Amino acid sequence: MKYNKLVRDKVPDIIKGEGKSVKVHFADDEEYSKRLADKLVEEANEYAASGDAEELADVLEVVYAIAIAKGIHKVQLESMVKKKRDDRGAFEKRAVLDEVT
């Protein structure tokens, strides 16, 4: 079966441990960036469809990988989240913007 998608680091070894053979290649920076963006959409869609916390954890893992690939440390990323929250708020009030006139 062909997949052609980015997988977690241990997945090829897990598959080999099941007695199957795998073919993998390792992405260069450009391909990695594109595949991470694709993976983010994939994981976000899986979470949206299931609401499963495991899928939400996958989304977060991909976000962290994207940040690292862009040279952004986890602490910096969390600082950006805090600044945005301070400036524009979070989503705690559950406000839904219906219309602006």
- The tens place of each residue's pLDDT in the chain, 101 residues long, gives 999 999 999 999 999 999 999 999 999 999 999 999 999 999 999 999 999 999 999 999 999 999 999 999 999 999 999 999 999 999 999 999 999 99
Task: Give the chain's domain count.
Answer: 1
Residue type, 90: A
Please give the residue range of the domain that contains residue 36: 28-88
Find all residues with CB under 8 Å of 80, minimum gap 6, and list them: 72
In a domain, 83, yes or no: yes
In a domain, 70, yes or no: yes
- Determine contact, residues 64/75, Cβ cutoff 8 Å: no
pLDDT of residue 68: 95
In a domain, 99, yes or no: no
In a domain, 55, yes or no: yes
